[in-house]
Amino acid sequence: MVKSSDYINLLPREGKKAVPILNKVSIVICLFVLTWLTLFGWQAYKLLDSRARLHALSIKRDGYRQQLVSIYKELGITLPAGMSPERAWIVQNILRDRILWSEVFKQFSLVVPRGMWFDSLEGNSSDKAQIKIRGGAMNYTMIAEFMLALDRSPYFEKPQLIFAQKTVVQGQDTISFEIVCGVKKK
């Protein structure tokens, strides 16, 4: 027997239900948040990894500092108070490449013969350390002796005579000269 409820349907036809817009937006928001959390997590992981590596490197650096200090003690090198070994090493390297001009001029004064004078002394240490000497002498022999003394000195190398010219100063014959000489870095 057929019931009337079987063929009479007061309910609307069932069709395809539309997906609410709210569901699509929530899916996009969830994907965005998931992507953002993934990227944030990756950056946090990289930060923690770099901090761990930095910590390991600082431990190695401290070990090397201790070794450097012990080597300095073995060699008898004293560090100035409050100066780290790295800073002392940097200062020592800078000073090694510098020329102590006071010592150069002291050695220079030891090789100058009597009867010779200087009009100018010019030191240059930019590329190759050298000294330019302009002056006068009573004769050519004094200039030759001076160049020989410069050549024999452990502080100077390769003296070159740029010019030597006879001049008259207050009625007396003198020789004016210019010499360029290399300075050895000690």
Q: What is the mean pLDDT of residues 7-35?
A: 73
Residue whose entry in the numeric block shows the structure tokens 């010499």: 179
Phi, psi (degrees; rounded to nearest 5) at 184: -80, 135
- Span 38-51, mean pLDDT? 94
What is the tens place of the pLDDT at every residue in 147-167? 888 888 888 888 888 888 888
pLDDT at 31 over 80: yes
- In this prediction the pTM is 0.48
pLDDT computed for residue 41 by the predictor: 93
Q: How many CB atoms lie within 10 A of CB 38?
A: 10
Every domain of the chain and the residues it spans: 20-97, 99-183
Residue 86's nearest CA partner among 50, 61, 107, 49 is 61
Strand 172-183 relative to strand 116-124, pairing? unpaired
Judge whether residue 43 has pLDDT over 90. Answer: yes
pLDDT of 15 higher than 70: no
- The matching CATH number, chosen from 3.30.70.2830, 3.20.20.30, 3.10.20.30, 2.120.10.30, for 99-183 is 3.30.70.2830
